[in-house]
Amino acid sequence: MTETATTATRIPREQLAARIAQDIPEGSYVNLGIGAPTLVADYLPEDQEIILHTENGMLGMGPSPVAGEIDPDLINAGKQPVTALAGAAYFHHADSFGMMRGGHLDVCVLGAFQVSQGGDLANWSTGAPGAIPAVGGAMDLAIGAKNVYVMTDLLTKTGESKLVEACTYPLTGVGCVTRVYTDHAVFDVTPDGFAVREAFGDNTVELLAELTGLKLVDASSRGIREGE
Amino acid sequence: MTETATTATRIPREQLAARIAQDIPEGSYVNLGIGAPTLVADYLPEDQEIILHTENGMLGMGPSPVAGEIDPDLINAGKQPVTALAGAAYFHHADSFGMMRGGHLDVCVLGAFQVSQGGDLANWSTGAPGAIPAVGGAMDLAIGAKNVYVMTDLLTKTGESKLVEACTYPLTGVGCVTRVYTDHAVFDVTPDGFAVREAFGDNTVELLAELTGLKLVDASSRGIREGE
Amino acid sequence: MIDKTVGSVEEAVAGIRDGATIMIGGFGRAGQPVELIDALIAQGANDLTIINNNAGNGDVGLAALLAKKRVRKILCSFPRQHDSWVFDGLYRAGEIELELVPQGNLAERIRAAGAGIGAFFSPTGVGTQLAEGKEIREIDGRSYALEYPIKADYALVSAYRADRWGNLVYRETARNFGPIMAAAATTTIVQVDELVPLGSLDPESVVTPGIFVDRVVAVGERGWLDAGAFVGGVDIEGRPLAGAAASGTEIDQ
Amino acid sequence: MIDKTVGSVEEAVAGIRDGATIMIGGFGRAGQPVELIDALIAQGANDLTIINNNAGNGDVGLAALLAKKRVRKILCSFPRQHDSWVFDGLYRAGEIELELVPQGNLAERIRAAGAGIGAFFSPTGVGTQLAEGKEIREIDGRSYALEYPIKADYALVSAYRADRWGNLVYRETARNFGPIMAAAATTTIVQVDELVPLGSLDPESVVTPGIFVDRVVAVGERGWLDAGAFVGGVDIEGRPLAGAAASGTEIDQ
């Protein structure tokens, strides 16, 4: 395991964010979860209009303000200062979550502790005793968006796969994830389990199967690998 | 019956509207049903602020516009042109009916076919075969306002009491009416049935009991009749 | 660039198929998307289910669609108005199906569809004919009936101004069902008096964010509004309200 | 004349009794009615149940109320933030009760209270710990959990401008829970930056109509906003987000 892991290709987080951005068509309404998924915004093409939603009541969210232009009433879900684009709209929390729950967002990108091959997501609690539980909008996003993309490392720091047969951490949502973008590969959630949509670098489906301990479907042959 | 009826005092509809207006304190949020209840607006004291709600999405409704100033986008529940006062607010239908259903209106005034002594209201359908049914916002208003006042003649044109033991017409709401203003008297709905709160002119509780065929509670002696 | 505007009402209603369920905004004439309805009539879709608060006024707009016998069923709160003669005739002839819903339940069921609510318990109508057959539950000492969402394939909405992202503002009480219907339909088609450049609508005042809107067409000022006499409601006997004030049988619509 | 304005924050919070349930607006610091909370601290009401999205930031506002041990229980979606040390300490010491509610269910349950809905079926949280013990029902092929309204004795809300009828407008994302909390409480108390004359708020843009508001007090510009560092969220380990981008364990709050 150690041996294969050392030979595996891992792309940096920024490159992964760019890879995700590539899959978001112009005109999409998108919610980017706090933390790493926020990076995706930096790679959305500047000549295209993609409308960002923030759960705390805005569509048309713009980038961080320049220093000295911070408006304390204008923040994102991570409570960081942001800006509003021309065409933005504000609304209250019930309307904002109605928008999410009602299936109006095209894409949301979330972090994860674990994703099961059935598409279950665990990203809100490690279940550790004594930890202070907090869920925020994670459960609403997980079940609400048309496409729920997960952005995560494939392995934990201790080398365990975050793609699992069944989640051992407390669930955020059941059968809700549609695709997982990891530093090793992109996986689709299918009725037959995880399908490798794109393996980065020299990674093979066999290697990914070994790393995850899962039976994987090879969907990467459908035209997107070089030389085939 | 004919004999007593001829001696009964009946006040005109305008006077009844004025009588109702008298019971609406300043600062109340009020919905006046279409038709006769609309008259109440004309008798609200000009030096007091009472805020009118219209179910089709406005608080702070003002009087009819002067000729030539009709705005076709600004109408009341009866689809008649109205105006907006300084301090008005517009909202959509779900918000408007949330306001009603959520118990935020202090008073609504409705017409009636029948009111039962338990406070049931029938005012949307005579149940006549072949009639086209239509309910509008009547059921929402009936169950929503803190005080549901009915404004009606005591008797139908054929002399039957509109105050009844149990409604025979299809119900609009169950146990929802708090007070009935009729051309003969004002009645409160109480756990013991209708209580005569104020008998107009020379009308007596006995006369009203005879006209309605109901056992009535005499609540009019509590200080509001002259000479007692 | 996102541009939801289309050049004509014909383009706006393109693709509506026979058998579709269509929400149509408006309370009486206010907020009724007459130009879109006219285009729908010309487009020809048949066997429609319509959701609207009323069932048409006079001979224009929704009434004209009904007159063409394009509507199989209508779901509304107040069909009977003094100028609803088209619907009245079809109904009495058994040529249209009617589902009557109290106005607040209609509004909340439409909202529920847009907000992803599976069902909700409403106190409105409990104990009346209109709650017959529904699941009744007592919660905290009060009785409620279980109500399900109403969704649609299309919503036709009339707003005042839009930008190319589909952000909308309305005018006065013409707002009524527009915002909730826009959120409850798969495809939302909006007519506006005026298109404005992106950024000219105040983000604090946008009522319907563009996320709920698919196509926008500018129709200019709505001339038909002047034509219609502004006689409004009707009493329970079907008489215009001016004459009804003395009948004592008034109800809300 | 209707005049809901009061002259001081002390007057605004007068009468709040021990044991009251109080909704407090805000998402983090945005929209948090800090001046009213300070007045509540001075007023002395004890044994409170608080409903807020979070559980206090830094040492001001809600955090200061918690620090005084006036709060028996808090109902929120995201207590754990990098600057929620006051709550963290109380929670670990077992000195405060926590009811965790997914943010959208929190918002919708508050809305339901204001809109007179008895209960509703929500898809959020189904199959997770947070729906354990709730009634589950399959509707149209999807599973939902039954959620009940959350109401309160008082709501403390921060808005931007108000008139003497209590009509409110908000600023940007500080709107958040204000409008739904204002409608869900028996007594709604609002602080605003500025009072404006009746008629100066555009009726099309009023977000909270005065019907939902009982008392309004002007507090001027909120100086404490400048003081607080604008470091926002926190990762699941409790670290500020700037350092968390590399942890891969981010979730929404």
Per the CB < 8 Å rule, is B97 touching C175?
A: no
CB atoms inside a 10 Å sphere around CB A218: 16
Predicted local confidence at residue A120, as pLDDT: 98
Chain C residue with minimum CA distance to A84: C203
Predicted local confidence at residue B182, as pLDDT: 98
The set of residues, in sequence order, having a beta carbon less than 8 Å from that of A67 and lying 6+ positions away, is none
Percentage of residues of chain B with pLDDT beyond 70: 94
Say whether the C–B interface has 3 or more Cβ pairs within 8 Å: yes
Q: Which is more confidently placed, B3 or A88?
A: A88
- Residue D236 pLDDT level (bands cut at 50, 70, 90): very low
The closest CB to that of A104, out of C111, C198, C211, belongs to C211
Predicted local confidence at residue A75, as pLDDT: 93
The set of residues, in sequence order, having a beta carbon less than 8 Å from that of B114 and lying 6+ positions away, is B120, B121, B122, B123, B162, B163, B164, B167, B168, B169
Per the CB < 8 Å rule, is A97 touching D178?
A: no
Selection from C183, D126, C162 nearest residue A97 by Cα: C183
State the complex-level ipTM.
Answer: 0.94
Chain A residue with minimum CA distance to D93: A130
Q: What is the mean pLDDT of residues D243-249?
A: 33
Does residue C180 register a pLDDT over 70?
Answer: yes
Q: What separation in angstroms does the CA of C150 have from each of B144, C107, C113, D195?
A: 22, 9, 6, 41
Does residue D228 register a pLDDT over 50?
Answer: no
Q: What is the mean pLDDT of residues B210-225?
A: 79
CB atoms inside a 10 Å sphere around CB B91: 24
The average confidence (pLDDT) of chain A is 92
Percentage of residues of chain D with pLDDT beyond 90: 83
CA distance B228 to chain C (A): 33
Per the CB < 8 Å rule, is C211 touching A51?
A: yes
Interface subset of C 134-163, CB within 8 angstroms of A: 163
Distance CA D187, CA D152 (A): 8
Which candidate in D142, D252, D253 is best for mutational testing of the A interface (most A CBs within 10 A)? D252
Selection from C186, B95, D52, D107 nearest residue A97 by Cα: D107
Distance CA B151, CA B22 (A): 14
Chain D residue with minimum CA distance to B106: D211
Token pair, residue B74, equals 């600004």
- Residue D242 pLDDT level (bands cut at 50, 70, 90): very low
Handedness of CA D46, D52, D56, D60 (dihedral sign): negative
Percentages (nearest 5) of helix, strand, coil residues in chain B: 20, 25, 50
CB atoms inside a 10 Å sphere around CB D44: 11
* Radius of gyration of chain C, Cα coordinates, nearest whole angstrom: 18
- Residue B35 pLDDT level (bands cut at 50, 70, 90): confident
Q: What is the mean pLDDT of residues B118-134?
A: 92
Interface size between B and D, measured as CB pairs under 8 A: 67
Give, to the nearest 10 degrees, the angle between helix D103-115 and helix B93-101: 70
The closest CB to that of C107, out of B13, B39, B97, belongs to B97
Per the CB < 8 Å rule, is C165 touching A101?
A: no
Chain C positions touching D169 (Cβ under 8 A) are 204
Q: Which residue of the set B55, B160, B206, B210 is catalytic?
A: B55
CA distance C88 to chain D (A): 34
Residue type for A69, please? E
Per the CB < 8 Å rule, is D118 touching C169?
A: no
Interface size between A and C, measured as CB pairs under 8 A: 67
Q: What is the mean pLDDT of residues D15-37?
A: 95
Does residue C127 register a pLDDT over 80?
Answer: yes
Secondary structure class of D198 (helix, strand, coil): coil
Selection from A41, A73, A178 nearest residue D245 by Cα: A41
Q: Which is more confidently placed, B148 or C245?
A: B148
What backbone phi and psi angles, to 5 degrees, belong to A39?
Answer: -60, -30
Per the CB < 8 Å rule, is D173 touching A74?
A: yes
Which burial class, exposed, middle or buried, applies to B19 when counting CB atoms under 10 A from its CB (0-12, 13-18, 19+)? Answer: middle
Residues of A serving a catalytic function are 55
Query: Per-domain residue ranges for chain B?
Result: 3-218
Residue that the structure tokens 């930056």 belong to: D193
- Residue B1 pLDDT level (bands cut at 50, 70, 90): very low
Does residue A98 register a pLDDT over 50?
Answer: yes
- Residue A1 pLDDT level (bands cut at 50, 70, 90): very low
Stretch among A166-180, B49-63, B117-131, C160-174 having the lowest mean pLDDT: B117-131
Chain D positions touching B49 (Cβ under 8 A) are 1-2, 165
Inter-residue contact A154 to A186 (CB < 8 Å): no
Q: Is C192 on the interface with B (CB under 8 A)?
A: no
Does residue B225 register a pLDDT over 50?
Answer: no
Three-point CA angle A29, A33, A38, nearest 5°? 85
Q: What is the mean pLDDT of residues D207-220?
A: 97
What backbone phi and psi angles, to 5 degrees, belong to A68?
Answer: 85, -10
The closest CB to that of A101, out of C115, C204, C212, belongs to C115
- Residue D82 pLDDT level (bands cut at 50, 70, 90): confident
Does residue A101 register a pLDDT over 60?
Answer: yes
Chains in touch with D (≥3 Cβ pairs < 8 A): A, B, C
- The CATH architecture to which A3-218 belongs is 3-Layer(aba) Sandwich (3.40)
What backbone phi and psi angles, to 5 degrees, belong to C212?
Answer: -95, 0
Secondary structure class of D147 (helix, strand, coil): strand
Indicate the helix (H) or strand (E) that contains C10. Answer: helix C9-12
> Beta strands A107-110 and A121-122: pairing type?
unpaired
Does residue D234 register a pLDDT over 60?
Answer: no
Stretch among A214-223, C78-87, D66-75, D77-86 having the lowest mean pLDDT: A214-223
Per the CB < 8 Å rule, is C210 touching A103?
A: no
Q: What is the mean pLDDT of residues D50-58?
A: 94
Inter-residue contact A87 to D45 (CB < 8 Å): no
Stretch among C72-86, C235-249, D30-44 having the lowest mean pLDDT: C235-249
* Radius of gyration of chain B, Cα coordinates, nearest whole angstrom: 18
The average confidence (pLDDT) of chain D is 90
Per the CB < 8 Å rule, is D118 touching C144?
A: yes
pLDDT tens for each residue of A124-153? 998 888 889 999 999 999 999 999 999 999
Q: What separation in angstroms does the CA of A216 have from each of A6, A156, A186, A210, D241?
A: 21, 19, 12, 10, 34
DSSP C116: T
Chain D positions touching B101 (Cβ under 8 A) are 115-117
The closest CB to that of A87, out of C113, C163, C212, belongs to C163
Does residue D129 register a pLDDT over 80?
Answer: yes
CA A184 and chain centroid, separation:
14
Residue type for B44, please? L
Per the CB < 8 Å rule, is B89 touching D116?
A: no
CA distance D244 to chain A (A): 6
Does residue C233 register a pLDDT over 70?
Answer: no
Strand partners, D204: none
State the alpha helices, DSSP H only, in chain D: 9-12, 34-43, 62-67, 85-92, 103-115, 178-184, 224-227, 241-244
> Beta strands B58-62 and B51-54: pairing type?
antiparallel
| b/e burial code for range C161-178 (CB count within 10 A of at least 16 → b) | bbbbbbbbbbbbbbbbbb
Does residue C226 register a pLDDT over 90?
Answer: no
Selection from A142, A183, A141, A144 nearest residue A162 by Cα: A183
Chain D positions touching A174 (Cβ under 8 A) are 126-128, 143
Chain D residue with minimum CA distance to C136: D118
Which candidate in A52, A56, A174 is best for mutational testing of the D interface (most D CBs within 10 A)? A56
The average confidence (pLDDT) of chain C is 90
The set of residues, in sequence order, having a beta carbon less than 8 Å from that of D177 and lying 6+ positions away, is A92, A93, D23, D25, D26, D27, D31, D52, D53, D107, D110
Chain C positions touching B35 (Cβ under 8 A) are 235, 241, 244-245, 247-251
Chain B positions touching D210 (Cβ under 8 A) are 51, 59, 87, 89
Q: Is D181 on the interface with B (CB under 8 A)?
A: no
Predicted local confidence at residue C240, as pLDDT: 52
Inter-residue contact C194 to C218 (CB < 8 Å): yes
Secondary structure class of C34 (helix, strand, coil): helix
The average confidence (pLDDT) of chain B is 92
Does residue A227 register a pLDDT over 90?
Answer: no
Predicted local confidence at residue B195, as pLDDT: 97
Percentage of residues of chain C with pLDDT beyond 70: 88
Q: Is A28 on the interface with D (CB under 8 A)?
A: no
Residue that the structure tokens 């409110």 belong to: D168
DSSP-assigned letters across all residues of C126-161: TTSGGGTTS-EEEETTEEEEEE----EEEEEEEEEE
Most confident residue range from A32-46, A68-82, D171-185: D171-185
Stretch among A145-149, B191-195, D209-213, D238-242 having the lowest mean pLDDT: D238-242
Does residue C246 register a pLDDT over 60?
Answer: no
Q: Is C2 on the interface with B (CB under 8 A)?
A: no
The closest CB to that of D198, out of B84, B86, B101, belongs to B86
The closest CB to that of B71, out of C172, C178, C248, belongs to C172
The set of residues, in sequence order, having a beta carbon less than 8 Å from that of A17 and lying 6+ positions away, is A36, A37, A39, A40, A42, A43, A151
Does residue C72 register a pLDDT over 80?
Answer: yes
Q: What is the mean pLDDT of residues B174-191?
A: 97
Stretch among C245-249, D97-101, D135-139 having the lowest mean pLDDT: C245-249
How many residues are there in chain C? Answer: 253
Does residue C21 register a pLDDT over 70?
Answer: yes
- Residue B221 pLDDT level (bands cut at 50, 70, 90): low
Q: What stretches of C167-229 adopt beta strand conformation (E)?
A: 168-169, 185-195, 215-218
Inter-residue contact A187 to A179 (CB < 8 Å): yes
Q: What is the mean pLDDT of residues B31-35?
A: 91
Which candidate in A95, A96, A140, A146 is best for mutational testing of the C interface (most C CBs within 10 A)? A95
Predicted local confidence at residue B220, as pLDDT: 75
- Residue D98 pLDDT level (bands cut at 50, 70, 90): very high
Q: Is C118 on the interface with A (CB under 8 A)?
A: no
Say whether the A–C interface has 3 or more Cβ pairs within 8 Å: yes
